[in-house]
Amino acid sequence: MGLGLQMFVNALLLGGLYALMGIGFSLQWGISGIINLSYGAMVLLGSYLSLIIFNMFHIDPFISMFVTGAILFLLGAFIYRFTLQPLLKGGIVFTLIVTFAIRLIIENIILLVWSADYRTIRVSYAGSNFQFLGAFVPLTKFLTFIIAGVIIYLTYQFMMNTKIGKGIQAVALDKEGAMAVGVDDQKMYLINFALGTALGGVTGTLWATIYSFSPHVMDVIIGRVFIIAILGGLGNIWGAAAGGLLLAFVETSGAIFIGSHWQEAIGLVIMVLVLLLRPHGLIGKKFFG
Amino acid sequence: MSDNGVILDVRSISKHFGALKAVDKVNFQVKKGEIVGLIGPNGAGKTTITNLVTGELRKTEGEVHFKGINVSNMQPFQIARIGLTRTYQVVKPLQGMTVEENILVGSLFGRSDRENDLNSARKTTHHIMELVGLEKKKDSKVSDVTLPDLKRMEFARVLAMDPEVIFLDEVMAGLNPSEVEESMELVKNIRAEKQLTIVYIEHIMKAVMGISDRIIVLHHGQKICEGSPTEVCDNPAVIEAYLGKKYAKEVISG
Amino acid sequence: MIAQNDRKLNINIILIVAALIIFILLPNYISGYYTRIFTAIFMYATIAQCINLMSGYMGYLPFGHVMFFGIGAYISAILMKTGLPVFVAIPAACFCAIVISIILGFPVLRLRGHYFAIATIGMNGAIMTVVQNATEITGGARGTTFPIITVPPAVVYKYFYLAMFGLMVITSLVMNMIVNSKFGFGIRSIKANEDAANSMGINTTFTKVSTWAIAAMFTSIAGGLYGYWMSFIAPDEVFDLMFITNSIIMMLIGGAGTILGPIFGAFIVETVSEVAWSGFMQYHLAALGIATIIIVFFIPRGLIGTITDKMRNRRIKLSKKTEVTNV
């Protein structure tokens, strides 16, 4: 019982972070139509930006995430407008390879500024924890889980209840129809892409409060978000959230029952199976379902 | 080949999309050498029937027999290779290829029982481009060609496959009256020369009346009438389907 | 007109034969360092040629195609450890790769566009994890070695140079034959419009799976040769997606959908990154990234693609001119 509950709590706490991380990527892929291979680099950029802010101004990552989110939003908008939008007609080979090129550039910048060493952000309360029904809950993990949940909820509300959010939904569901009623499709794609980048950056900041990070983490992140997005169905907020939680549970239990060596393969095999059997994800086809 | 010259036998086919019955138990037969018009208002299920017959959509129920062979569970390429093929309402050119190459692909793969090396296929292609009047455009990429020429090319591509039955799905759509006239002439002439059987799909009744031997009318996925063009024109159910109940009454009462 | 075509053909054959002779004799006159660089170029050109057949001609981007490179390398290594000679081990590995590609191809080639690309990445990751964990057979995550070659290094380098060169030439010739055949028209039609292709009598499933098997075949041979050449391989090295991203960049630079494109692309990218490595090592990733973006923006059709486009346009213009004067 004790072990089972602890496993559940660990998976849930990890799942919140995965969910947030997956949504940004899933929105970019499902709605803007871009498989963003630089997503991992963008998440890490969020981590490193909050590291700078923490070291220079001693600002807590839970506060600086607003700043990193805003910076990553602008970066995302810039990248979409000047490197991706002009290439959309060229097909997937071009957008894939350009996002990969952006990843190389960001990776190079990170290596130059921070080197390949592992970094951490240690806030003063990093060691605090509490007991919940006998399970051990670290405070920072708990906070990231709550914040991730709030941000996911706000993103959903943004998509459902604001004019821009509705515009993004409209171009996602029926591009021609949306254009016919006067929605500026490229503007919607741009905002959506930038929003995805911002969510990635915020994830990076939250990640940095728990785990240490280095440029190697980039590949880990990109591997995870692929699986999460496919599990949940592309562009589907609740789907990606569910996909994130599911992956966390699969990984946590897989590590215990099958062995942590196989952790990565389990996720990938599930992803390929979902692709082949249910290409619209486990939840279904609808956006924001 | 089955008796009384029936080349295509569609037996009670249906296609349901969830609760929507796009095609509901439709039967019809086509005899060798006939031109059959398949008409009906928008959304009547004409294109769906074409997709079902050519194997592009899976049938909910029913069977299709072509030349006495049950083709119900065959893939489109298999059906095409035994001589049943179609054009698309929205043209589907092979992008990035030239007009000549598009037609060449048709003649290369159209029939499995034919000697089709590149050289003989090139000859067929050449001959067909002459027939439909596309020689001058042969080196143009399909992205540089006008819509009437694309439709012409698609028809040529189908001809190059050396079919026995062709479903022409709204070949007139998007053409102006003189282009319609021209394309009807072309179809008529080539049919005579190649002894083709044609199923003509249109939602404009007038366009089909002139050339069809027989007409089948669809409405809401069901066959509501079948007969010669004049019979169909006089049928109250058809008038109602096209013009609405009120107008139909007026027409009939005089 | 015919005479002119014949002359053109003759010139092409002379050029190709001259290039063959030069490249066969070259390793006698250059240092080991350059021999190695050329060997890598030939290897990349081979992989890029396979990616080009799948993506440039057929429109299916096999992002995880490196799985066949790794399979080729690993199965060769395992077989050679049992004492089999290299000219048995590599063909056997190649055969395994073909079988695996066919088994995986039927389900995965039903997916289109992004989905296909991602599914292949997933499969590559899964296969890599299996190799990492099957320690008794593969040596696990730490890697495995090939039997040691008992000839002086200089001679060994020359052997691998010639083997890779031969592989590249054969791959390119076979690809050239394929794309100009009836089968090649089937491949190109699938890229152009898969549904239309199917309704025109092309067995799209068969065409797609066979094309993937051909691409897997040459990639796995390259993998086997690479492993033997390096004499040591590790899973995260031979299953590294970087091989594929590099090959895609090479294909784009040279020109997707052309036979000479991947070869020129491999020469350019390898040379540039070699210079970048030695010149400004710290910035070489960014340099590669920026160069890629510039190329995609300014010559999207690639080097060879842009040149053939220009030539075609000129020919059309010329033929229009003669038409006018005839009238």
Condensed to tens digits (0 to 9), the pLDDT of residues C17-33 reads 898 999 998 888 888 88
Predicted confidence at residue C3, as pLDDT, reads: 56
| pLDDT score at B243 | 64
Q: How confident is the model at residue C310 (pLDDT cuts 50, 70, 90)?
A: confident
User: Could you tell me if C159 and C84 lie in one domain?
Assistant: yes
What pLDDT score was predicted for residue C322?
62
What is the distance between the alpha carbons of residues C263 and C253, in angstroms, rounded to a whole number? 10
Mean pLDDT confidence for C305-309: 82
The first and second tokens of residue C280, run together, are 């400004």
Higher-scoring residue by pLDDT: B152, C65: C65
Does A114 reach chain C within 8 Å, measured CB to CB? no
- Neighbouring residues of A103: CB distance < 8 A, sequence distance ≥ 6: A37, A38, A40, A41, A218, C289
Q: Considering only CB atoms, which chain A residues are within 8 Å of C138?
A: none
Q: Are residues C222 and C242 in the same domain?
A: yes
Mean pLDDT of the region A61-87: 93
A265-275 CB burial, b ≥16 within 10 A, e <16:
bbbbbbbbebb
Q: What is the mean pLDDT of residues A58-82?
A: 93
Q: Do C8 and C125 lie in a common domain?
A: no
Range of the domain at C21: 1-30
Cβ pair A261:C129 closer than 8 A: yes
Distance CA A230, CA A274 (A): 7
Q: Do A98 and C290 touch (CB under 8 A)?
A: no
Ramachandran quadrant class, B96 (left: phi over 0; alpha: psi -120 to 50; beta: rest): left
Residue C290 pLDDT greater than 50, yes or no: yes
**What is the CA B77 to chain-centroid distance, rounded?**
16
- For testing the chain B interface, which of C110, C179, C198, C200 should be mutated: the one with the most B CBs within 10 Å? C200
Same domain? For C209 and C94 the reply is yes
Amino acid A105: pLDDT: 93
**Residue C125: which of A98, A111, A268 has the nearest Cβ?**
A268
Q: Could you please state the CATH topology (level 3) that the domain comprising B1-83+199-254 is classified under.
A: Rossmann fold (3.40.50)
Band (pLDDT 50/70/90 cuts) for residue B254 is very low
Q: Average pLDDT of chain C?
A: 88
Beta-carbon separation of B105 and C198 below 8 A = no
Give the pLDDT of residue A287. Answer: 44
List, in sequence order, every residue forming a beta bridge with A136; answer none if it has no partner.
A131
Distance CA B171, CA B156 (A): 12
- % of chain B exceeding 70 in pLDDT: 91
Does pLDDT of A140 surpass 80?
yes
Domain identity same for C18 and C120: no
Residue C305: φ, ψ to 5°? -60, -45
CA C253 to each of CA A102, A104, C246: distance values in angstroms, whole numbers, following the listed order: 17, 17, 11
Interface contact flag, C108 A276, Cβ < 8 Å? yes
Q: What angle do CA C99, C103, C105 make, to 5 degrees?
A: 110
Q: Do C122 and A29 touch (CB under 8 A)?
A: no
How many domains does the structure of chain C reveal?
A: 2
Asked if residue C11 and residue C71 are part of one domain, the reply reads no
- Same domain flag for C22 and C58: no
Q: What pLDDT, on the 0 to 100 scale, is given for residue B41?
A: 81
Q: How far is C121 from chain A (nearest CA, A)?
A: 9
Provide the residue range defining the domain that includes A175: 9-115+135-212
Q: C183 pLDDT band (50/70/90 cuts)?
A: very high
To the nearest whole number, what is the mean pLDDT of chain B? 83
pLDDT in tens, A197-252: 999 999 999 999 998 999 988 888 988 898 999 888 888 888 899 999 999 998 88
What is the residue-averaged pLDDT of chain A? 88
**Domain-located, residue C284:** no
Domain count, chain A: 1
Domain boundaries, given as residue ranges, for chain B:
1-83+199-254
Any chain B CB within 8 A of the CB of C318? no
Domain contains A104: yes
* Nearest CA among B192, B201, B237 for reference residue B219: B237
Residue that has been written with the tokens 């709030």 in this structure: A150
Distances (CA, A) of A72 to A50, A119, C301: 12, 20, 32
